[in-house]
Chain A
């Protein structure tokens, strides 16, 4: 989905950088805090992006470890921290997937300050991240001009809802809708919530089948979100195959048409799921096969598979 958005920016003539926040991941205790492993996962992710259609010749890849070598970067991070209260920094920890009150180690206080600093060292005017990251850039916008930098524009993309459906957790954002969106997103730490580019056709079918998808309900429906944010951005239509007594075969050419049909009860969740599983598999297949067949990609994925997910 992010690859789709990235391509939109390139199409609009906007240059794009992909930032691999390896140091941030280390501070946030990912991959058991092993920086080398984190960097290997970073290389794997660049490969995934490439296979998902990102033209890596047009996109500049930047690693956080490059900034970490620069005293000017740390000077700016400190300046951001000097301009921000401890409480504010703790609240901004939600960008790390930590709810307010969940921050335990003082190193984690560096993270929001680093992320707020990143746009200035990346020299970007637009921050295009998930909507759960906006707090970092609200900080950039406030502090940046005081430090002689610009006010970056925050262009936030939707967070795909996890297959389990809406979860009301609280503790991420004050706005309830936004809070639910963040709490409910697809997350690697919740295995059944997401579809991976490595999932087989069978696994995709299973996950979709078990997914939350109440009849006629559009809001918070993971299967419809997949149609809106991914499928209809990649293919021109979806074909639903149904026995004649359930309406017969039908092809839908727009998300709006699909949503209307579903809301009116003219498409059953079972039929929706069946078609989505097949279509999604078609979209994912080239990426999956690249990691099965290409030697370097296979090795990178192997490293990732062997490491535990940590928070």
Chain B
């Protein structure tokens, strides 16, 4: 999958802002499989 397509997928809603898109592009150029995370506080029903 080329970088353009990867970026397209990443930017689909609900993605709102990327700081910075340039850095993300560079990251994908040097590392085809970087790691991302989402975190949350367990906080009730």
Interchain Cβ contacts within 8 Å, total number: 169
Residue among A6, A16, A155 with most chain B CB within 10 A: A155
Per the bound structure, the CA–CA distance linking A122 and B39 in Å amounts to 11
Contacts of B45 in A (CB 8 A): 188, 196, 198, 301, 304-305, 307, 309
Per the bound structure, the CA–CA distance linking A154 and B37 in Å amounts to 10
Q: Which residue in A6, A42, A308 is a CB contact (below 8 Å) of B42?
A: A42
Binds B, one of A75-83, A128-136, A273-281: A128-136
- In this complex, how many residues of chain A approach chain B with their Cβ under 8 Å: the count is 69
Question: Digit string of A18-37 for contact with B (CB within 8 Å is 1, else 0)?
Answer: 11111011001011000000
Q: Which residue in A122, A157, A188 is a CB contact (below 8 Å) of B16?
A: A157
Chain B min CB distance to A174 (Å): 15
Main secondary structure of the interface of B (DSSP, over half): mixed
Query: When A155-B15, A305-B45 are in contact, do A16 and B36 touch as well, CB less than 8 Å?
Result: yes
Measured CB to CB, the residues of A under 8 A from B are: 1-2, 4-6, 8-9, 11-22, 24-25, 28, 30-31, 38-42, 44-45, 62, 115, 118-119, 122-129, 131, 134, 137-138, 141, 151, 153-158, 160, 188, 196, 198, 228-229, 233, 301, 304-305, 307-310
The 5 closest A-B pairs by CB, nearest first: A19-B39, A41-B42, A126-B36, A25-B41, A309-B44
